[in-house]
Chain A
Amino acid sequence: MNWGQAIADALALGALYGLVAVGIGLVFGVMRLINFAYGELITAGGYTLAYTGGWPPALSILACVGAVVALALVQERVAFRPLRRFGASPVTMLVATFAVSFLLQAVYLLAFGSRGQIVGTLGGLNSAFTVAGVDIRWILLVTVVTGLVLLAAAAALLGRTTVGLHMRAAAADLRTARILGVRANRVITLSFVVAGVLAAAVSVLYTVQSPLVQPNTGVPITIFALVGVVVGGLDRLWSAALGGFAVGVVYGLFGDLLSSTRSVYLPAVVYGVVIAVLLLRPAGLFAPFRARQVERV
């Protein structure tokens, strides 16, 4: 097996999972809610691309972004906002996002069938160029660059704008932020919009590499990104992104390098690492070291 090739593939997978991790981490930061139904946004993007396959690529991608953001807003408005208003416990919220995920998959199954749809929008990016004996597909380059650009954009939004300041304030302490005049609903809506745009980007990039979109396409993506978010550290966007990236790279690398009889156990190893990280460094691998906080009563 060619190491350069494996690394190139792994980097692209890492960039993809990094993006998903940011989307999940962003919503978590503001709402303290892990959205299991995030993957269904990616699936929705995939279906939109499949059904607008005849359109010019730019329009098709635009439609994809529109559809995914709309669905993200529907999720927030219809499911999560009422839950928040009733003051549901975190456990109930988590199960509710499970239910939304289940419901959306059932709707996809009913609407689009179980066989799956093929996306061909940017199929041309699968062609490769050769650098020093390593075949690099254009999509790898595009994924990494898009990932970096979107991360930088998200960081700029959070760090340089007033509304970003509000989002960070809400993430630190939603109740206090509200008392100080931050409009909670607007901040949360915005975080869902940004998360939606990221999900749409993932749909576009992901479907180039695996063009078949099925009702449950988003599930494994969510699970692995979630693992990355937890391993990296939930409380900071960049550590979540780094965690997602790391899981993607490790997964891609070992998936390529191990023989198939070994690599089937890769998920078990990844989950084992997750448990170890949770036990040894609950704040995440990439969270800054600091003195143990006093337990609040």
Chain B
Amino acid sequence: MRRALGPALQLAAPVLLLVATAGIAVSLSKARQLEFTNALVMAAVVVALYVFVGNSGVISFGHMSFVAVGAYLAGLVSLDPQTKTFTVPGLFPVLRHAQIGLVPSLGLAAAAGAVYALVVGLPLMRLSGLPAGIATFAVLGITYNVLSYWGRVGPQTQTISSVPETGAWTIAAGAILVVAAAFLYQRSRLGRQLRATREDPAAARASGIDVYRQRLLAFTLSGALAGLAGGLYVHQLGLISADLFYLDLTFLTLAMLVFGGVGSLWGAVLGALAISALNSFLGDAEDTVHVGFALKLHAGTRLVTVGAVMALVLILRPSGLTGGREFGLPWRR
């Protein structure tokens, strides 16, 4: 009983949190709803990031590339071909003529994320530590550069704003799918092998674990989930723009992950939702919010506060809010 309940709770807690977020979102006005659905998308992105970074202990600054590829693909194939002829005339014909529904576009996004991650991971997963960080950062730089200037794959430095948007429950379903995949992976034999390499690469190797293969596998899965999250992002926001997927998002999602606790799925979801909530609240407070009294913050306070909070948590509690533990009821610990 006790053994069965623990793992079930570890999955149920983050899922319930996401469902609650979506539940609140649908009861709100359109503008307010966007803040909640954005939090759900962030949770999906951060969990995708966690599948690799959390389980392997290797840093990646490149994951927003996979999010970007997923978002671009899902967004472009969802657009009306007629619009595309005007807004992005240089597009590859396949992309320009295609128009498919929401679910296939998300599937395509996940596949594209996986393929890109696999191609990148084949050479890069031999690296670890700082070189891995810099190399993945270079991947991000290349992706951003190409997306910004190559007219065959997108609107270059322009923004497309007519991607069909979708409701809170769809976004939540996508985010839950990502969480469930992450959960199943980390409890599987493969996930445990990777976590063993995180704790002690030498001992793991001595026990017959192929570190490179395990990392590559996690990187590819993580890329697929990131691609899917990117698809969710584009359908949540309705925008395609290269600037969305560069340094700001990279930093924000990594900080969310570290804030919640790099070592646990629960931490990834909690971190994403907590920072999103803080971000939204402060954004509102910049044009007056009522918390018993009218609070009006100077424009720009939001960024400073979010930055300060994240820096403080990193400095004072480097293992994050959850300390890298999965969700558990207090008396069970």
Contact = CB atoms under 8 A, between A and B. Distances in A.
A83 B315 contact: yes
A132 interface: no
B59 A94 contact: yes
B262 interface: yes
Interface in B102-138: 123-124, 126-127, 129-131, 133-135, 138
Contacts of B135: 274-275, 278-279
B123 A98 contact: no
B311 A100 contact: yes
Contact of A106 (B126, B258, B307): B307
B138 to A, nearest CB: 4
Interface stretch (A10-18, A158-166, A261-269): A261-269
B127 A96 contact: no
A268 B138 CA distance: 8
A248 B131 CA distance: 21
B95 interface: no
A89 interface: yes
Contacts, number: 127
B149 A265 contact: yes
Interface of B: 53, 57, 59, 123-124, 126-127, 129-131, 133-135, 138-139, 141-142, 145-146, 148-149, 202, 247, 251, 254-255, 258, 262, 298, 300-301, 303-304, 306-308, 310-311, 314-316, 318
A106 B279 CA distance: 13
B254 A98 contact: yes
B140 to A, nearest CB: 8
Given A106-B303, A265-B146, A279-B135, 16 more contacts: A92-B318, A94-B59, A99-B307, A102-B255, A107-B304, A107-B307, A109-B303, A110-B300, A110-B303, A265-B149, A274-B134, A275-B123, A275-B139, A278-B134, A279-B124, A282-B127
A204 interface: no
What are the nearest 7 A-B pairs in CB distance?
A103-B307, A106-B303, A110-B300, A271-B138, A88-B318, A268-B145, A271-B141
Interface of A: 34, 78-79, 82-83, 86, 88-92, 94-96, 98-100, 102-107, 109-110, 219, 223, 226-227, 230, 234, 264-265, 267-268, 270-272, 274-275, 278-279, 282, 295, 297
B141 A268 contact: yes
Interface of B (DSSP majority class) = helix
B298 A110 contact: yes
B132 to A, nearest CB: 9
Given A34-B130, A91-B59, A98-B254, A279 B314 contact: no
Contacts of B53: 91
Contacts of A79: 311, 315
